[in-house]
Amino acid sequence: MAIKDKIYNPEMECMSREELTKLQGERLAKTVKLVYDNVPTYRERMDAKGVKPEDITCLADIVKLPFTEKTDLRDQFPFGLLASPKEKIVRIQGSSGTTGKPIVSGYTEGDVEVWTEMVARALSAAGCTNEDIVQVCYGYGLFTGGLGAHQGATRLGAMTIPMSSGNTQRQIMMMNELGSTILMCTPSYAAYLGESIREAGLVPGKDIKLKAGVFGAEPWTEEMRKQIEELLGIDAMDIYGLTEIGGPGVAFECFNKHGMHVNEDHVIAEIIDPITEQQLPYGTPGELVFTTITKEGQPMLRYRTHDICTLYNDPCPCGRTHVRMGRITGRTDDMLVIRGVNVFPSQIEGVLVGIEGVAPHYVLVVDRVNHTDTLEVKVELTEEMFSDTVSHIEKIQKKITEQIKSVVGIMAKVTLVPPKSIPRSEGKAKRIIDNRKL
């Protein structure tokens, strides 16, 4: 079997849909009984809907269950949603948010084991083996990125470099000297590393030995993937996760890069209409909802992620049978509403990174002038384009303006700025400044 086709756990990842559906139903029933018996919030909500654990006998019964929201985790902070005794909790992980009460989740030893395997599956899909050197540039701490990536890489026996985020020059020095072959970080930081490597006069494939990158924690487009792959000379793979469900590894790409395989033996994925809350069929975009079915510490029933995407169940050439989720195209709660139009940053990025001479760094500035919403898109030019003629730059500006109007449906002010003028992030990139909230 070629490295590109490596599957960490073929028995589970390639299980027939009939067997998988049966397994999901059994694990769902067990999880429902666990939370009903041990979590007052779930018991009260199920009772209010007239649902008892014995009513959940198969996967189709999931629609009978109540939804869980992020506000529930804040309201029950810190331990109100635990289904296991605190003595069984070996890890607390939390969101990377900085305002209000944090989102935390308790993990048992078994939960950490499941999470570790899910990340190992993702890294295996990226070609990682015990011969690789994995450089982890996600932050270590409450945020699940660093520790999750570290656990998965270690499980595969790979040499693991726990760099965490920040100190770009040192990152590059270690990458160069140690011969890192797989990079794990946010896609925006990967792009920044690629630029910095080139500026340092280092050559990917010669001075930098990277062959693949596993990037997540923020939305990114297909165009941005191509730019990262060109900058670093690698295959760039997507990974998805969230603290509440199981950290990075909940879903991941194989080398076919046609959506991320959801680890369905551990989580059930649904797409719902965010307004009616009705379940939608495969191939229809909507809000992503997850139910954990092996988590012991703090299981989640029908957790509304507010991420907008599409689930696909057509066969994948890699042999994995689990459904795939498409890229996150926006959020039901974080989307910008500008003059009555729903605008997602990923739509703007899709326009920008497809235009020659534009760097993958931008910021959206939303304001309100004379009671009317305004949108300014600040985007960097590359060094070559910035030194070009004024008329050529004006043509680029006009092209971006017209394409944003075509894709999004509103007119935006496009401001082209010099290279390096938009602040860089070594974590999640700050893409939106909404002055209407000030």
Q: Are strands 413-417 and 372-381 parallel, antiparallel or unpaired?
A: parallel
Task: State pLDDT tens for residues 216-259.
Answer: 988 788 888 999 999 999 999 999 999 999 999 999 999 999 99
Specify the higher pLDDT residue, 332 or 298.
298
- Cβ neighbours, 10 Å, residue 285: 15
User: Which pTM does this prediction carry?
Assistant: 0.83
Task: State pLDDT tens for residues 187-225.
Answer: 889 988 999 999 999 999 999 999 999 999 887 888 889
Specify the higher pLDDT residue, 253 or 435.
253
Q: What pLDDT is stored for residue 291 in this prediction?
A: 98
CA 145 to chain CA centroid, nearest Å: 10
Task: State pLDDT tens for residues 11-52.
Answer: 999 999 999 999 999 999 999 999 999 999 999 999 999 999
Label residue 22 left, alpha or beta by phi (over 0 means left) and psi (-120 to 50 means alpha).
alpha
Nearest to 400 by CA among 355, 334, 335: 355
Q: What pLDDT is stored for residue 345 in this prediction?
A: 83
The residues near 207 (Cβ < 8 Å, ≥ 6 apart) are 176
Q: All domains of the chain, ordered by start, with CATH?
A: 3-15+105-331 (3.40.50.12780), 336-437 (3.30.300.30)
CB 68 within 8 A of CB 277: no
